[in-house]
Amino acid sequence: MRRLTLLRHAKSSWDDAGLDDYDRPLNPRGRRDAPEMGRRLNAADQVPDMLISSPAMRAVSTARMAAREMGFPEQRIIEDRSLYHASARELFSVLTSLETLAAHLMVVGHNPGLTDFASSLSPVRIDNLPTASLFCVDLDIEDWNELAPGSGRFAYYDFPKNTRGAVLTASDL
């Protein structure tokens, strides 16, 4: 059994029009939401064994802020350039090539690929993963190279503006 949690990067700033997309930082809302999602994961005892992030500034900043709140060591965050604006197909390729025993893997990345990837994992479809949202599936696989479309069982979905006090399950969507 494996668990996969997807975290879309938090809200980024567009204040500096001359800044390359890759280098855009988080805006104030993003700096508030990223740690909040980490706190929620920690409170739910959902700290991953392994965390992989796009190295784009907004994504890796989200990963670091969430990691701090989860108690996940920031120095263990793996930055993978191939996650920068990766398509669903590219995300499958990255994850199926992992050589890890991690039971719970978290990936921090970008839309639209992350939403497409999330929707391909289980029967639950998401139209759009908002910034700083979480999407989690459980997988009946022994090894990450067995990850395939439809191989997941939806576990939960959460996002910063969710004020219910609990994550959303399949019956809520």
pLDDT value, residue 15: 86
Query: Which domains are delineated in the chain?
Result: 2-172 (3.40.50.1240)
Q: What is the DSSP letter of 22?
A: G
pLDDT at residue 170 is higher than 60? no
**pLDDT at residue 14, rounded to an integer:** 87
pLDDT digits (tens, 9 = 90+) for 34-75: 999 999 999 999 999 999 999 999 999 999 999 999 999 999
Query: What three-state secondary structure class fits 126?
Result: coil
The confidence score (pLDDT) of residue 156 equals 92
Cβ atoms of 99 and 63 within 8 Å: the answer is: no
pLDDT confidence of residue 97: 96
pLDDT of 28 > 80? The answer is yes
Q: What is the structure's pLDDT at 172?
A: 56
What is the model's pLDDT at position 80? 97
pLDDT tens for each residue of 127-140: 999 999 999 999 99
Contact 13, 27 (CB under 8 A): yes
| Token output for 20 | 């390359």
Give the pLDDT of residue 18. Answer: 85
Q: Is the pLDDT of residue 171 over 60?
A: no
What value does the CA radius of gyration of the chain take, rounded to a whole number of Å?
A: 15
